[in-house]
Chain A
Amino acid sequence: MRMAWVVAVFAALVVLLAVGLTLNPREVPSPLIGKPAPAFELPLLHAPDKKFSHQEMRGKVWILNVWASWCAPCLVEHPVVSALAKSGLAPVVGLNYKDAREDALPWLKRNGDPYQFSVFDATGRIGIDYGVYGVPETYVIDRRGVIRYKRIGPLTPEISRDKVQPLLQELSRES
């Protein structure tokens, strides 16, 4: 009887720790899901004298992808972002985060530019508003300007296929 107790407690502990091991402590639930996307107005990466405001995307389902030329995982997810952009499900806007133009522009030239355009957040101030802490990050924003999904870390083909694309299709049907 006593032995059974010890085994039961041990088994419970094993299950608890096993579940803990499969969780990713870096994936902090974002408080921004379901909230309006923070407002911003930033210069374009390609044209410093032109500005883009989040207001311009009102009425559209769109993707905001935070990237930087110094960010190695951004290179890893690049083909996935490119494929997503090519699918035409939603426009992908880049947020070039704490980067330098002379690094970012050649990076796009080298690896291909999947973005409709990128905005240039040199100080990372807008990144703070979006709760960015692990580049790359990806946001899906709906027609009303509400953040519906956030991915911290690189998009994988599986996440793009199973989460992002179905969500985009669903949101495009919403009016």
Chain B
Amino acid sequence: MRASLLLLALLAGSAAAQDPALDKRVAGLAHELRCLVCQNQTLADSNAPLAVDLRNQIREQLKGGASERDVIDFMVARYGDFVLYRPPLKASTLALWIGPFVLLALGAFLLVRRLVRRRAPEQQLSEAERARAAKLLE
């Protein structure tokens, strides 16, 4: 009796994980979306109750035939672009996207300028200096 109950429980448990393709899609999306409670974790990494709810929500929607795009739109409509780990390129996120490249270009410019300056020809010695140097080396 007890053994059969255990078996039943195991079967019920595995039923939830019987669709590896769906699991993979859920995990894929959960890695793209931010958990809003613990903001530096993805939904996949977080065990906050809200993250669990949202993962279930993703699973339900995918099961119901929604596409990845549909699920992402659903989340953005409720939580804003912040929920995306890869924010869309638009006016308000422009600094985020091109800022690093601007800084890189600025750094490269300063570096090149400095190197060019350093290579500038050294000053020629005057006749008097040359004579003095020769004398010191004698």
Contacts and interface: CB of A to CB of B under 8 A. Distances in A.
Contacts of A130: 78
B80 A26 contact: no
B94 to A, nearest CB: 17
A124 B79 contact: no
Contacts of B36: 28, 133-134
Contact of A98 (B49, B57, B82): B49
A47 B77 CA distance: 32
The secondary-structure label for the interface of chain A is loop
Interface residues of A, number: 17
Interface in A26-61: 26, 28-32
Given A98-B49, A128-B53, A31 B39 contact: no
B53 A124 contact: yes
A128 to B, nearest CB: 6
B105 to A, nearest CB: 16
B76 interface: yes
Given A98-B49, A128-B57, A31 B37 contact: no
Interface in B62-115: 76-82
Interface residues of B, number: 15
Contact of B76 (A31, A128, A133): A31
Given A98-B49, A133-B37, A28 B82 contact: yes
A66 B120 CA distance: 69
A128 B78 contact: yes
Contacts of B39: 25-26
Nearest to A32: B78
Contacts of A26: 39
A106 interface: no
Interface centre among B53, B54, B81 (most CB of A within 10 A): B53
7 contacts: A31-B76, A31-B77, A123-B53, A125-B53, A128-B53, A131-B80, A133-B37
Interface of A: 25-26, 28-32, 98, 123-125, 128-131, 133-134
**The 5 A-B residue pairs with the shortest CB-CB distance in the complex, in nearest-first order:** A133-B36, A131-B78, A31-B80, A28-B82, A131-B79
